[in-house]
Structure 1
């Protein structure tokens, strides 16, 4: 599965979201907040440019079709401004993928996203565009996860509250965390049913550490994860992040889980 599950707490990053649809801005804004970002919405290119100049965000999401102009023009204007040109910009639209990719390339955008947007598609683009300028970006999408997880160590069994979940691992709250390197067996209570997994403790935080920003507990990296298990974990994370938002959308197809 590659690299270790990241558990460091980052400073909140800021995204300016330029889109004239208040519904889209509301749902994507909520999703981004759950992913750890602060969001400033703007309904026009003019307002969006002012926000970018004042707040110098970590990234700008721009709808391609805006009132009175093309979102690509706003991308180009940001690129022409020497003080703003280094800010990553992503172009968003319901256009055909090839057409949107061409528009993003011509306007020198750093990436593009087609609507409706999945949590993982959003995370992939944000990770790619922010990774060059921000080492705090997580490689794996994670969610807050309020579940009780059974873990087994030899003949001992514990039922521990989870804090967060990703496709790579889980963080469990425990005042007396297991040593790093401890091999464990887990049963994850996913929405689709229990999922047995093996794992290994890769990080621990006890109550006596100086920093109080991470709850006492331990991060467990999943091992021997095949494609079917990976898909189940991704569906669980997506459902936790956006399931309720999708149910509330009604007829406007903004987000999707698959």
Structure 2
């Protein structure tokens, strides 16, 4: 039955009817139409099955001994896990009062016995498709709200750094070297904030419109990203080395690849100890080009590895000099890698540190 967050390939229909012949006939009809049918011969069993794992739709006999259809429907609507599951009544009662009561109780439809097979299948398909559409819209709305919360959080960090440094600069007795460091901090926060906004806006534009893949030279790509973040590395005394064993031509979105690698390199610099080294490497592996960012930082703990690419999750490791969190985020970076036909993953580095690898199709 439906698992939260995962799309179902075979919709599950819970069929509750106290007549075994009805269950057999309707069940066979639905199974031949491609549905996964879960049968129950009484209301108690049907309710237990539905609350154990919510189905995509319930076909429910209105009148049954013991726990009747209305009582089952009421119980389903009282539980958060089954509240949104559409319920269609199967009934031999076509009295207007009963049908009015069914809709008032929360049923989405009713089918009068004896039924026409095509009508039953049509109504089942329609209500499952409507539920899937509602679920998809709800997921999109939740993701966008979470994205907005994350954007607000990260922007607040950048503005907080700027305001703090600006307030410190008000002190007329502040030494010159301290003033220069504060000015650099303001500039770095402003640059990071602008890059973050650019990444978010471009990502949203790419999602809405799609961007064609281009042939890119991996060495040039890595050198451009290294040059972009060289001031951040220099401030910590970190050297960036670019290695490419051979010309590695990949297919990717220019902006997308840059932002993924920028995120990985920014993280490597922030989590590396001062006076360290970060290595950028490009190799051919099978049909893909692998662009890796390798550092000698603390690595990623086993507990954090399980949630490393999850959205909106903060990891336990902290930057070595208290730098702000990265803007793009590993979850978004992995998503962008996959939209380009590639992937992104983490490996622990032998001798200590991290290796993050962006794999892209070879051109």
TM-score normalised by the chain length of structure 2: 0.33
Q: Which has the higher strand share?
A: 1
Q: Which fold has the larger relative contact order, with Cα–Cα distance below 8 Å and residues 6 or more apart in sequence? A: 1
Considering only CA atoms, is the larger Rg found in Structure 1 or Structure 2?
Answer: 2
Q: Which has the higher helix share?
A: 2
TM-score normalised by the chain length of structure 1: 0.46
